[in-house]
Each structure stands twice: as structure tokens, then as C-alpha cells.
Amino acid sequence: MLKFLVRCILFIVGVVVLLDIGLPTRVEQLQVDQHTSQTQNDFRATRSGDSRWADTSYKVYLIGGAASSCSVGYASYARLKDGDSVEVQSTRLFKTCIRITREAEVVEASPHWKWYALAIGGLLIALALGWLKGDDDDDGAGIRIRL
């Protein structure tokens, strides 16, 4: 019963992800409200012996529309200032930022977002339908593909 419920949830989420691709995108004129950056530190062994590692994520918060925030790269984070008026293209369901433009300049763009969403949605549906299964060996490692 639990397995069936998990498969139903995977199927529904996969269909919603694919539906988000098919719906027209939303284009809004928004204003940059604030910036935040978050650094995640981790210690990993490297060949050089330097075990410090950090990953910084940058986020821009927006007001005046459906998209409330966008994850951006450092160059876009530094280029956009609080109070800037920007045009944001985003998806309808998940409100994922696809493109941010200021005046005629493209500040941030994700040109391959449809391919990523298609792969994720297809993977979720394949898992739900049982086309991808975990290996039944004792160690539980690996994936088996059934066609």
C-alpha cells in the first residue's frame, strides 16, 4: 500500500513538472527589494591537502508580482541593486526564474531550463511506472532499467 502511494505521488509530481514546461511563461515588471547570500562551509579532503570548501548561493528578492525571489549567480547579484526595476520571466506553477532583464540587458538567463525539467519529470514518471527499479541484490546498490 505504501509503495502504491509513493508511486502515485511520484507520478503526480512528474506530471506537474511536465505541465509547468507546457504552460506559457509569465513575464512581469518587478522591483529588486533585497539581496542575500548564504555560504555553506564543508571540510573535504583534496589532493592539495587543503580541506576547506565553501559554496555560496545568491538570492535576489523581488516585489510587485508572483515571483518573490530568484537564485542568481555572483555577476547578476553584484549587477542588480536594491530598487532596480527588472523584467522577470518565470514559470507559472513553480515560479522558477528563467530570465531577468534590466532595460535591454539580460542580467541572468537559464536557457536550458526546459531540458532540466523534462529530465526530472520524465525520471519521476519512469520511477512511478516501475521502469526504473532499485537493484534487488543484498547490497542494495545500483539501478535496473525495465522496458
Q: Cα separation of 41 and 120, whole Å?
A: 28
List the domain boundaries for the chain: 25-111
pLDDT at 86: 96
Nearest 5°: CA angle at 12, between 123 and 113? 50
Strand pairing category for 143-145 and 132-134: antiparallel
- The CATH architecture to which 25-111 belongs is Beta Barrel (2.40)
Closest of 120, 135, 129 to residue 147, by C-alpha = 129
pLDDT at 130: 87
C-alpha cell at 133: 527499479
pLDDT at 131: 86
Assess whether pLDDT exceeds 90 at residue 52: no
pLDDT at 137: 44
Q: Cα separation of 38 and 51, whole Å?
A: 20
Mean pLDDT of the region 88-116: 94
Assess whether pLDDT exceeds 90 at residue 123: yes
Closest of 82, 119, 116 to residue 102, by C-alpha = 82
pLDDT at 55: 82
CB 125 within 8 A of CB 15: yes
Assess whether pLDDT exceeds 90 at residue 134: no
Of 122 and 46, the structure prediction assigns the larger pLDDT to 122
Assess whether pLDDT exceeds 70 at residue 100: yes
Assess whether pLDDT exceeds 70 at residue 50: no
